[in-house]
A and B are shown apart, each in its own frame.
Chain A
Amino acid sequence: MKVAEFARALGGDPSQGVPPTFGIVVAAQAWESMFGDPELGLALHRIVHGDQKFSWQRPLRTGDTVTATLRIEQVRERGGMQMITSSVAIATIDDEPIGTAVATFVHTPEPVA
């Protein structure tokens, strides 16, 4: 049902299978734990998506039960902004690798009062 809702939100036909960018829904669950981590001091509304790369060993399929494991690969400072590269490995609960979603986010820190 979530897959069909996602396909329709892209103006596509839900009968044509899982959209290739649906992995973002899985990755976003992992991002949420990063964005919401008080130690990292990030704020969702201060984050812009810079780039995205998916690599699939096999397609995500309806009915898969998966895990998402996030690694912060790199943090760079540029012009007062933080460029955060994160990698989310997606696998089945039986540890069959499905793919990886690598994203760069641009975070503008809260102005110092």
Chain B
Amino acid sequence: MSAREDDRVGALEVGAALPAIHHTLTRESLIRYAGASGDFNPIHFSDRIADAMGLPGVIAHGMLTAGLAARVVTEWLGDAERIVGYQLRFTRPVVVPDTDDGVELVLSGTVTAVDDATATITLDARCGDERVLGGAKVTVTRG
């Protein structure tokens, strides 16, 4: 274990805010994630099918947003192997327009519980003013 990581785990105090990540999603991001994850649901790349399904546009894979949010924890700790639990709800779709600029997500986290064995970090994912994940919690081991 590196000294840095040890310090970070020791510093997990309730109320501590983790550094936020700003991440821009474009249609290319969705194609890359589809290929990497194997999730080829056409609502993530076809305007025609997204429209037919009553969606406001092509939407990002929920697990893409969830994976981005988890980076708040892994990049701060520098160690993905400490994560023993991760749960979340997909509360709002993230519409990704077919533009150069795409859409920006802001991912952040706050330590909300600490005991001897574990710490819980509650994550927030926002697209503009909207919260797109609900009840998003990561549990990490402290031992």
**Which A residues are closer than 8 A to B by beta carbons?**
2, 5-6, 8-13, 16-21, 24-25, 28-29, 32, 44-56, 59, 108
Q: How far apart sit A42 and B83, CA to CA, in the bound complex (Å)?
A: 33
Q: A21-B67, A54-B86 are in contact. Are A59 and B81 (CB under 8 A)?
A: yes
Q: How far apart sit A44 and B45, CA to CA, in the bound complex (Å)?
A: 13
Contacts of A13 in B (CB 8 A): 75
What are 22 A-B contacts defined by CB distance under 8 Å?
A5-B35, A10-B67, A17-B79, A17-B81, A18-B80, A20-B67, A20-B73, A20-B74, A20-B86, A21-B67, A24-B37, A28-B39, A44-B40, A44-B41, A45-B49, A49-B90, A51-B87, A51-B88, A51-B135, A52-B86, A53-B87, A54-B86
Q: A6-B36, A47-B41 are in contact. Are A16 and B80 (CB under 8 A)?
A: yes
13 other contacts beyond A20-B83, A25-B37, with CB at 8 A cut-off? A6-B37, A9-B64, A16-B79, A24-B63, A44-B40, A45-B42, A46-B53, A50-B89, A50-B90, A51-B87, A51-B135, A54-B85, A59-B80
In angstroms, how far is the closest chain B Cβ from the Cβ of A74? 16
Contact of B70 among A8, A20, A25, A53 (CB under 8 A): A20
CB pair B87–A10 under 8 Å, yes or no, is: no
**Which B residues are closer than 8 A to A by beta carbons?**
23, 29, 32-33, 35-43, 49, 53, 61-64, 66-68, 70-71, 73-75, 78-81, 83-90, 135, 138
Q: A9-B33, A50-B90 are in contact. Are A55 and B85 (CB under 8 A)?
A: yes
CB pair A12–B43 under 8 Å, yes or no, is: no
Q: How far apart sit A49 and B29, CA to CA, in the bound complex (Å)?
A: 19
